[in-house]
Amino acid sequence: MDISGDEWEEVTEGDTTFSIYQDAERIYDASVFYNPKMAINRDLTILALSSIIEKEEKSISFLDPFAGTGVRSYRILNELPNASVAKIIAGDINQIAIEIINRNANQLKLHDKLEIKHSNAIDILDALPWQKDTIKIIDLDPFGSPIKYIEESLRSLKINEGYLFVTATDLQVLCGKFPDSCYRIYNAMPTRHFLCHEVALRILIYNLIISAGRLGLAIIPIFSYNHEHFLRVKVKVKDSKELANQQHKELGFVYFCKTCSYVETVKLSQDIESSHCSFCKEKLEKAGPVWLGKLHDYSYIEYMLKNMKQFTLQLEKKIDRVLNQILNEIDSPPFFYYIPFVLRHCKKEGVTLNQIVESLLDEGYIVTRTIFDPQGLKTDAPYNELIQVIKQF
Ligand SMILES: C[S@@+](CC[C@H](N)C(=O)[O-])C[C@H]1O[C@@H](n2cnc3c(N)ncnc32)[C@H](O)[C@@H]1O
Ligand SMILES: [Zn+2]
C-alpha cells in the first residue's frame, strides 16, 4: 500500500509528538490502529516504568510486540530519563505499521535505542530466551485477548525475573456477555452482575498464575486496573516454585447473591456450605476460578504517585484519583458489597456509604470504598454484621 499521500497527521501524547496515517474516519478502519482514548493506558505505563526504574535503580529494556503506530515506544524513549532506557524492541505484523514506526524513529531520532521488527509477536517472543541481551519488560497489547502470548512471555522473563504488562480488550468475554467463550479461552466463569470487572481482572490474573506455575514461576501483581473497554494488569515475575505453590493456595471462587449482595469467597480446595443465600434464599451465582490475593503492590503505586509530577499526563486528575483510591483499598479483602442491594434487603433508605463506613470502622473492621464501583464497600465485616450496622440507622 502506498502511504505517501496526504493522510499523515501529527499527534501529541504526553510530551511526544509523532505522525500517524489517518486513512479512515473510524479508528477501527484505519490501516494502522491508533486509539487516542488509550492514552491513559500509556500514561500509566510511563508511571509504572518510572516506579520500576526507581525501585531497581537500573536501566530497562522493553519489548512492545504489538506496537501499532509505535506510540508507546516513542513515549518511553522520549519521556523517561535517557540513561534509564537501554533498549526498546517495537514489533508489529503489519507492514504499514512498520513503515510508520520507521518514519517516526527517523523524525524523533530514536534509531540508536529502538529496534524495529516486522514480525509475528510469537516469533519475537520465542526467540527472546536465546538472545544475549534479555528483555526486562514485555508489554502485550494485542486486539482482544492476550492469553495466547502469556506463556512465551513468561518463559522469556524467567532469566532476569522481569515484568509482564498485559492489556485485555475482550471485555464482552471477560465480563460475561459470552460466558462459553470465557470458559474456553480463560477456563473460568465470568459474571455479568455487579462484581463483573473485579471478577474479570481476577480471572486474568488467575490465568497468569496458572501459566507461570507450570514454568516454576510466581507472579506478583503490582498494578491492576479496568477503564472503559480495557483491563490492564502489570506483574513482576519471580523464579520461585515455593512462592508459586503458595500462590496456588490463593486461587478460588466467589459466590454472591444478585438480590441482597451477600458475597462469599472459597479456596479451590473448599466447598461452600449452601448453594443458596442464607439471607434471602436466592440461588448464589458462582464465578471463577479467580485470584483471591492482592491486586497491587503498595511500593510501586507509591512511586507512581510520587513521580506523577515529572510527566505530562493526559488524564492527570483521574490518574491521581485512581492511584490514591488503589492505595486506600490495597489491604481490603477481595470483592465488595453493593450497598444499594444491601439497603434494599434491609428495607432502609437514605443511609449513606459514609455513615456505614464510620460505623464499621467503630466496630473495628477494615472498610474502604472501591475503585470498582462508587456504590461498593470492601470490608472484612461478615454480611450479618453489615446488616446490623445498617439497621441501627
Ligand atoms: C491494539 S493494537 C496495538 C496498539 C498499540 N500498542 C498502541 O498503544 O497504540 C494491536 C496491534 O497488534 C498488531 N498485531 C496483530 N496480531 C499480531 C501478531 N500476531 N503479531 C504482531 N503484531 C500483531 C496489529 O497490527 C496492531 O497494530
Ligand atoms: Zn441474598
Instruction: Dump pLDDT digits (tens) for 67-88.
Output: 999 999 999 999 999 999 999 9
Amino acid identity of residue 55, one-letter, is K
Q: Which of 92, 139, 232 to mutate to test the pocket of ligand 1 (most atoms within 8 A of CB)?
A: 92
Rg over CA atoms, the chain: 22
In this prediction, residue 336 carries a pLDDT of 98
Q: pLDDT tens digits for 85-112?
A: 999 999 999 999 999 999 999 999 988 9
In this prediction, residue 199 carries a pLDDT of 98
**Low-confidence winner among 23-32, 117-126, 153-162, 374-383 (lowest mean pLDDT):** 23-32
Q: Which residues, 6 or more positions from 329, have their beta carbon under 8 angstroms from its beta carbon?
A: 368, 369, 370, 371, 378
Instruction: Of 254, 250, 268, give the one whose Cα is nearest residue 195.
Output: 254
Q: pLDDT tens digits for 203-259?
A: 999 999 999 999 999 999 999 999 989 999 999 999 999 999 999 999 999 999 999
Percent of the chain predicted with pLDDT > 70:
99
Which three cell numbers, joined as nine digits, stand for 86? 537501554
Q: Is the peptide bond before 179 cis (omega within 30 degrees of 0)?
A: no
Q: Where in the chain is the domain with CATH 3.30.56.70?
A: 338-391
**Low-confidence winner among 87-96, 125-134, 273-282, 291-300 (lowest mean pLDDT):** 125-134
Assign a CATH topology to domain 8-249+291-329: Rossmann fold (3.40.50)
Q: What is the pTM of this model?
A: 0.96
Distance from the alpha carbon of residue 380 to the mean position of ligand 1, in angstroms: 41
Average pLDDT over residues 281-299: 97
Nearest ligand, measured from the Cα of 126? 1
In this prediction, residue 132 carries a pLDDT of 65
Q: pLDDT tens digits for 170-216?
A: 999 999 999 999 999 999 999 999 999 999 999 999 999 999 999 99
250 vs 7, more confident: 250
Determine the 3-state secondary structure of 165 from DSSP.
Answer: strand
Q: pLDDT tens digits for 115-174?
A: 999 999 999 999 887 776 779 999 999 999 999 999 999 999 998 899 999 999 999 999
Q: pLDDT tens digits for 334-359?
A: 999 999 999 999 999 999 999 999 99
Question: Quick one: CA dihedral 177, 181, 190, 220, positive or negative?
Answer: negative
Q: Where in the chain is the domain with CATH 3.40.50.150?
A: 8-249+291-329
Protein residue closest via CA to atom 10 of ligand 1: 142
Assigned architecture for domain 338-391: 2-Layer Sandwich (3.30)
Ligand 1: lining residues by beta carbon, under 6 Å = 32-34, 38, 42, 65-69, 71-72, 91-94, 97, 120-121, 141-143
In this prediction, residue 3 carries a pLDDT of 72
Q: Which residues, 6 or more positions from 321, have their beta carbon under 8 angstroms from its beta carbon?
A: none
Using alpha carbons only, what angle is made at residue 237 by residues 231 and 238, rounded to the nearest 5 degrees?
A: 145
Nearest ligand, measured from the Cα of 257? 2
Q: Which of 13, 35, 93, 99 to mutate to test the pocket of ligand 1 (most atoms within 8 A of CB)?
A: 93
Across-strand partners of 138?
A: 63, 164
Q: Which strands sit side by side in the sheet containing 251-256, from one edge to the other?
A: 263-267, 251-256, 285-291
Asked whether the predicted pLDDT for residue 53 surpasses 90, the reply is yes
In this prediction, residue 23 carries a pLDDT of 78
Average pLDDT over residues 328-339: 97
Asked whether the predicted pLDDT for residue 4 surpasses 90, the reply is no
Dump strand ranges (E) for the chain.
Answer: 8-13, 16-21, 60-64, 85-92, 114-118, 137-140, 163-168, 218-227, 230-238, 251-256, 263-267, 285-291, 337-338, 367-370, 373-379
